[in-house]
């Protein structure tokens, strides 16, 4: 019994870190650009496929390929920004919401056409590790560790580099940043690129644990919204913490109830927080 609890806590933590990473991209794009990125889940799915094909055709371990996915994601995200968002970035939020929804429809539509919706899984066997009587797959441990690494990397980027500080400045006052010499268009594009890249990265990591289809990003998108509401928008560490909480809740609750109730539970949490504290449970303001 005790080891069942320990196992649930451990995998809750590891999965929670991954959920946190998935949420950070959404969080960043909202925090910097005031854009609700409804293509978030689609990019997560693209990350899963990128990792899958790299493993299959380039024989790259997903844990090395993930860095390539990150770089690809930045470029893909920046291109998406210029194609779908640049012209309407100052328009009311509904316009950008619809634009990202269109991006999602395009990705999911093309993805369904090309990849079908048959489930796939990455062929990876790294064994497992036994911790205090519970057995954890190594891939889960690695995804947890990588999630922390990418979160710390984002933190470092936003707080210690000129480009990162420029993105933060743009999020606070776009005109002032422009007056300081920041190319705010490029800063916004880069922020979107990094948000998308982190989503794809989370997908790439998730694909080492679970089978997936082009539609699998949807579940993570819902989790990401819940986490952003839990952790409050605008802080990467808040998102990671929110992810941890959600991962733990999920894994502990499924000891008692069926897994199929999890989406319902997540939605209930979302609604509950929005009613009780709409600025986010852990948010300062």
Partner 1 sequence: MDQPTLKVENLETGYGEVQILWGIDLEVPPGNLTTILGANGAGKTTLLRAITGILPVWKGKVTFHGEDITHLSPHHRASLGLVMIPEGRMIFPEMTVLENLEMGAFTKRARAGLKENMEYALSLFPRLKERLEQKAGTMSGGEQQMLAIARGLMADPRVLIFDEPSLGLAPKLVIEVFETIQKLKEEGVTMLLVEQNVHLSLALTDYAYVLAEGKVVMEGTGEELEESEEVKKAYLGA
Q: Give the binding site for partner 1 (CB under 8 A).
A: 162, 165-166, 168-169, 172-173, 175-184
Contact 246, 22 (CB under 8 A): no
Least distance (Å) from partner 1 to the CB of residue 123? Answer: 45
Of the pair 34, 254, the CB lying nearest partner 1 is at 34
Can you tell me the distance from the alpha carbon of 122 to that of 251, in angstroms, rounded to the nearest whole number? 23
Of the pair 149, 176, the CB lying nearest partner 1 is at 176
CA 122 to chain centroid: 19
Of the pair 123, 175, the CB lying nearest partner 1 is at 175
- CB atoms inside a 10 Å sphere around CB 136: 16
Contact 184, 177 (CB under 8 A): yes
Contact 81, 245 (CB under 8 A): no
Of the pair 94, 176, the CB lying nearest partner 1 is at 176
- CB atoms inside a 10 Å sphere around CB 9: 15
Of the pair 156, 272, the CB lying nearest partner 1 is at 156
Contacts of residue 36, Cβ cutoff 8 Å, sequence gap at least 6: 30, 93, 96, 97, 100
Least distance (Å) from partner 1 to the CB of residue 2? Answer: 44
Of the pair 57, 162, the CB lying nearest partner 1 is at 162
Burial track 62-86 (b if 16+ CB lie within 10 A, e otherwise): bbebbeebbebbbebbbebbeebbe
Of the pair 165, 277, the CB lying nearest partner 1 is at 165
Closest by CA position to 62, among listed 47, 73, 46? 47
Least distance (Å) from partner 1 to the CB of residue 173? Answer: 5
Orientation angle between helical segments 40-57 and 62-80, nearest 10 degrees: 140
Least distance (Å) from partner 1 to the CB of residue 268? Answer: 32
Least distance (Å) from partner 1 to the CB of residue 161? Answer: 11
Least distance (Å) from partner 1 to the CB of residue 235? Answer: 10
Least distance (Å) from partner 1 to the CB of residue 14? Answer: 31
Contacts of residue 205, Cβ cutoff 8 Å, sequence gap at least 6: 18, 21, 51, 62, 66, 142, 143, 146, 147
Alpha helices in 34-137 (DSSP H): 40-57, 62-80, 93-115
Of the pair 159, 261, the CB lying nearest partner 1 is at 159
Least distance (Å) from partner 1 to the CB of residue 180? Answer: 5
């Amino acid at each position: 019994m005790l080891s069942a609890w320990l196992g649930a806590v451990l995998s809750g933590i590891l999965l929670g870190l991954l959920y946190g990473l998935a949420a950070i991209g959404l969080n960043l794009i909202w925090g910097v650009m005031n854009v609700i990125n409804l293509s978030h889940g689609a990019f997560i799915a693209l990350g899963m496929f990128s990792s899958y094909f790299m493993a299959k055709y380039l024989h790259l371990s997903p844990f090395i390929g993930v860095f390539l996915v990150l770089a690809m994601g930045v470029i893909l995200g920046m291109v998406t920004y210029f194609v779908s968002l640049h012209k309407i970035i100052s328009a009311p939020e509904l316009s950008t919401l619809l634009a990202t929804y269109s991006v999602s429809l395009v990705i999911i539509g093309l993805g369904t056409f090309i990849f079908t919706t048959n489930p796939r899984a990455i062929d990876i066997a790294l064994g497992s590790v036994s911790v205090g009587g519970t057995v954890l797959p190594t891939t889960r441990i690695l995804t947890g560790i990588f999630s922390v690494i990418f979160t710390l990397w984002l933190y470092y980027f936003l707080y210690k580099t000129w480009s990162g500080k420029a993105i933060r400045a743009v999020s606070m006052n776009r005109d002032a940043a422009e007056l300081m010499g920041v190319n705010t268009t490029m800063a916004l594009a880069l922020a979107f690129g990094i948000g998308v890249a982190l989503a794809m990265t989370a997908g790439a990591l998730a694909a080492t644990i679970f089978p997936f289809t082009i539609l699998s990003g949807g579940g993570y998108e819902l989790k990401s919204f819940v986490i952003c509401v839990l952790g409050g928008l605008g802080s990467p560490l808040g998102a990671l913490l929110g992810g941890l909480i959600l991962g733990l809740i999920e894994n502990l609750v499924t000891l008692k109830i069926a897994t199929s109730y999890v989406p319902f539970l997540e939605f209930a949490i979302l609604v509950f927080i929005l009613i009780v504290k709409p600025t986010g449970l852990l948010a300062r303001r």
